[in-house]
Amino acid sequence: MSMYFKNVSKIRYEGKDSDNPLAFKYYNAEEVVGGKTMKEHLRFAVAYWHTYQARGEDPFGKGTAQRPWDNITDPMELAKEKVRANFEFCEKLGVPFFCFHDRDIAPEGDTLKETNEKLDEIVSLIKELMKTSDVKLLWGTANAFGHPRYVHGASTSCNADVFAYAAAQVKKAMEITMELDGQNYVFWGGREGYETLLNTDMKLELDNCARFLHMAVEYAKEIGFKGQFLIEPKPKEPTKHQYDFDAATVIGFLRAYGLDKYFKMNIEANHATLAGHTFQHELNVSRINGMLGSIDANQGDLLLGWDTDQFPTNIYDTTLAMYEVLKGGGFTSGGLNFDAKVRRGSFEAEDLFYSHIAGMDAFAKGLKIAYKIIEDGKMDQFIADRYASYTTGIGLDIVNGKVGFKELEKYAMTHDQIKNASGRQEMLEAILNQYVVSG
Ligand code: XUL
Ligand code: CO
């Protein structure tokens, strides 16, 4: 295989005292944590769009990225080089999965037919390289937001021709995901939302979005696609209001339209914070509803109001995220996809390694700390004790549906001198600190 990242050899685990920036300090793929290896727990994935497509452009300036494929001008040749680079990159990092949008892996042609042919050509190359590699596809998706045809949305566009085009695109993206043995298929409603209600029939748009998802479910059944369908909530950006606002909104939407048994959530940290939630909140909402499917691992910047997609390095966040994942029984088809991009100033190809190593180490450490918290049981015990009043007496009657307002009024008449216990938030935060620091 040709070499794209010549200055970097296979990244190895060297432990916490290593000062080699091209080595893992905490991620030790084969180390067992609670009966599973770290590799099995964390199921890392490289995001094709940020790693091979993004060039560090921003509204004020051009891209700054320096990449080994920069001198290739033919779009199909470039696409093929990136496929080869992806396998080398994932193998060197020891990342078992990657994720893509259809338009990340192959350029669009002049017609839909031509676009699909280009896609097929690239998919054959990916399939070929998969034969001699352990690297797999975690999920595929369709980019139904970038092209100008999607200016008013895809399945929620006011233009039925666009709905049809999006359906054709998602159909093809599902087919190639299946062909590459993708373990999930993601729906992120890129432009499914609105800029102003002055021109929007929200009811029709939501109904159409549900119709579209039902068609996808039907088609998956028809072709025998067994991967998990995932919805990725995001409250805003690119539209002012995105319909997939947050996990609770999406779950309510899926239930209202009879779609809930076909979908799980793909929770992205920076989308959670844009929605005014913590990452843990979104994971918790998904978990308690039995819908925690996968994670887009990144972090935002609390001082900025947009989706900065930074690599996740905050150990508190990774700890609490892995706490939710472990509490939910661990990943099945999902994993931790680095939907994260290097900063514009980190323009060298080597930065792609440093950033992924940083994220992988942060999640490996978070996994170990979360496992310890759960194993010790102190936090769980505190919560259990806090709600102990529902395990006996009147609380148990409430839980078991044995009492209504009349019985409760009778009870309250003789129990009206209420005593509450402290929530001990600061004490718990200090205990969390102890876990994080002693790791
Ligand atoms: C955009 C985003 C997407 C989805 C896939 O904010 O997160 O890249 O993950 O379409
Ligand atoms: Co994402």
- Span 67-82, pLDDT tens digits: 999 999 999 999 999 9
Supply the DSSP symbol for 312.
P
Ligand 1 pocket residue status of 361, Cβ below 6 Å: no
Which residues neighbour ligand 2 (ion) by CB within 5 Å?
Answer: 268, 296, 339
**Atom 4 of ligand 1 has which residue's CA nearest to it?**
188
Across-strand partners of 97?
45, 136
What is the number of other CB atoms lying within 10 angstroms of the CB of residue 206? Answer: 17
CB 408 within 8 A of CB 358: no
Beta strand 36-37 pairing with 32-33: antiparallel
Atom of ligand 1 nearest to the CA of 237: 6
Ligand 1 pocket residue status of 192, Cβ below 6 Å: no
CA of 188 to the centre of ligand 1 (A): 6
Q: Which residue has tokens 């998602």? A: 170
**Atom 3 of ligand 1 has which residue's CA nearest to it?**
188
- What's the rounded mean pLDDT across residues 322-341? 98
CA of 38 to the centre of ligand 2 (A): 23
- What's the rounded mean pLDDT across residues 218-224? 98
Supply the DSSP symbol for 313.
-
CB 160 within 8 A of CB 208: no
Sign of torsion, CA 269 271 274 276? negative
- Which uninterrupted H or E stretch holds 295? strand 292-296
- Least distant ligand from the CA of 238: 1
DSSP reduced 3-state for 352 = helix
Best of 268, 271, 341 for a ligand 1 pocket test (most atoms within 8 Å of beta carbon): 268
User: Cα angle at 52 between 6 and 126, to 5 degrees?
Assistant: 85
What is the number of helices (H) and of strands (E) in the chain?
16, 14
Interatomic CA distance for residues 261 and 125, integer angstroms: 34
**Atom 8 of ligand 1 has which residue's CA nearest to it?**
339
Res 1 pLDDT > 80: no
Q: Which residue has tokens 């010790």? A: 376
- Least distant ligand from the CA of 295: 2
Cα-based distances in Å from 183 to 118, 149, 172, 333, 335:
23, 29, 16, 6, 10
CA of 387 to the centre of ligand 1 (A): 38
Res 320 pLDDT > 80: yes
Instruction: Give the confidence band of 439 by pLDDT, cuts at 50, 70, 90.
Output: confident
* Tens of pLDDT, residues 105-164: 999 999 999 999 999 999 999 999 999 999 999 999 999 999 999 999 999 999 999 999
CB 144 within 8 A of CB 170: yes
| pLDDT, mean over the chain | 98
Interatomic CA distance for residues 230 and 184, integer angstroms: 7
Ligand 1 pocket residue status of 268, Cβ below 6 Å: yes
Interatomic CA distance for residues 362 and 298, integer angstroms: 11
H helices present in 290-336, as ranges = 315-327
CB 233 within 8 A of CB 176: no
* Tens of pLDDT, residues 381-402: 999 999 999 999 999 999 999 9
- What's the rounded mean pLDDT across residues 356-374? 98
* Tens of pLDDT, residues 107-122: 999 999 999 999 999 9
**Atom 5 of ligand 1 has which residue's CA nearest to it?**
188
CA of 401 to the centre of ligand 2 (A): 41
Per 3-state DSSP, the chain is made up of helix, strand and coil in percentages (nearest 5) of 50, 10, 40
Cα-based distances in Å from 4 to 59, 96, 161:
29, 19, 41
Interatomic CA distance for residues 55 and 68, integer angstroms: 12
Ligand 1 pocket residue status of 232, Cβ below 6 Å: yes
Q: What are the residues whose beta carbons fall under 8 Å from the beta carbon of 393, sequence distance 6 or more?
A: none
Interatomic CA distance for residues 337 and 263, integer angstroms: 18
Instruction: Give the confidence band of 2 by pLDDT, cuts at 50, 70, 90.
Output: low
Conformational region of residue 136, where left means phi above 0, alpha means psi within -120 to 50, and beta covers everything else: beta
- What's the rounded mean pLDDT across residues 262-288? 98
> Which amino acid, one-letter code, is at 185?
Y
- Which uninterrupted H or E stretch holds 265? strand 263-268
- What's the rounded mean pLDDT across residues 347-359? 98
The strand ranges marked E within 64-222 are 97-101, 136-141, 184-187, 193-194
**Atom 6 of ligand 1 has which residue's CA nearest to it?**
307
Interatomic CA distance for residues 73 and 356, integer angstroms: 27
Q: Which of 336, 339, 316, 338 is nearest to 325 (CA)?
A: 336
Atom of ligand 1 nearest to the CA of 266: 9
Atom of ligand 1 nearest to the CA of 296: 9
pTM above 0.95, yes or no: yes
| Residue positions annotated with a catalytic role | 101, 104
Sign of torsion, CA 108 109 115 121? negative
**Atom 7 of ligand 1 has which residue's CA nearest to it?**
339
- Least distant ligand from the CA of 268: 2
- For the chain, the first-to-last Cα distance in angstroms comes to 40
CA of 234 to the centre of ligand 2 (A): 9
**Maximal CA-CA distance, the chain:** 82
Interatomic CA distance for residues 62 and 286, integer angstroms: 38
